[in-house]
Amino acid sequence: MTTPFTVPEPAIRYTEAANRSINVGETKFAYREFGPRGGVPLILLNHWGAVLDNFDPRIVDGLASHHNIIAINYRGIGASEGKAPLTIDEMARDTIALIRAMGFDKVDLLGFSLGGFVAQDITLKTPGLVRKLILAGTGPAGGKGIDKVGPVSWPLIFKGILTRKDPKTYLFFTSTPNGRRAAADFLQRLTERKLDRDKAPTPSAFLRQLKAITAWGRQAPQDLSSDQHPGTDRQR
């Protein structure tokens, strides 16, 4: 008889993780850290317009059962200070400087959507810094359709406004009954943290990040053939 696989729960949940900040140069960056200390940390890089409260707490809690998790905000997003960068290059350089300021010389990266762009650029800029790389729901520089994210997304965002639903209902999920239930469950999880929530992204930061995404879709492709990181996983 086999024993059912269970994932041990972290000592604290992501919804309870303290808000932290660190100065990189003259700019304060916001982040949350939890999970077992020691070893190589897993840095979480999130999607367009996302703040710390947009990480799915159920997924992050699962990761934190075995890893030291550090979820970060990009410059100018949420409680991070400064003006949101207009290029992925700047976001990658900010993140590298942030990791160095935290005292790490080796990290794992999980990049979702925009975060996947940033993770790829970090890996190419500082291959010795990244041990393992996980790319989810993302694409390469110059990838087909990436520069059309704005025209594709705006109608779905406006649909959310008109129907008084979170636009992520339409942006991230299918219109099937299963998709709608999954969207409702996901959005409910994002409200589980009641205290010390992050600041919402400003319209300016949202638009500046879109310009960075568009520029990423129009730039020359990067050579990822040299990426030999063990455990690298690409999910689209």
CATH of the domain at 187: 3.40.50.1820
- pLDDT over 70 (residue 8): no
DSSP code, position 173: S
For residue 121, which of 55, 220, 40 has the smallest C-alpha distance? 220
In a domain, 88, yes or no: yes
223 confidence band (pLDDT: 50, 70, 90): confident
- Domain extent at residue 111: 14-235
Q: Is the dihedral angle over the CA atoms 144, 162, 194, 10 positive or is it negative?
A: negative
Q: How many structural domains is the chain composed of?
A: 1
In a domain, 142, yes or no: yes
Q: How far is CA 33 from the centre of its chain?
A: 14
For residue 95, which of 118, 116, 79 has the smallest C-alpha distance? 118
12 confidence band (pLDDT: 50, 70, 90): confident
d(CA 180, CA 151): 23
- pLDDT over 90 (residue 235): no
d(CA 145, CA 166): 24
In a domain, 128, yes or no: yes
In a domain, 188, yes or no: yes
In a domain, 58, yes or no: yes
In a domain, 149, yes or no: yes
In a domain, 4, yes or no: no
List the structure tokens of 27: 């700019």
Taking residues 18-40, report their average pLDDT. 95
Lateral strand order in the sheet of 233-235 = 20-24, 27-34, 69-72, 42-45, 107-112, 130-136, 233-235
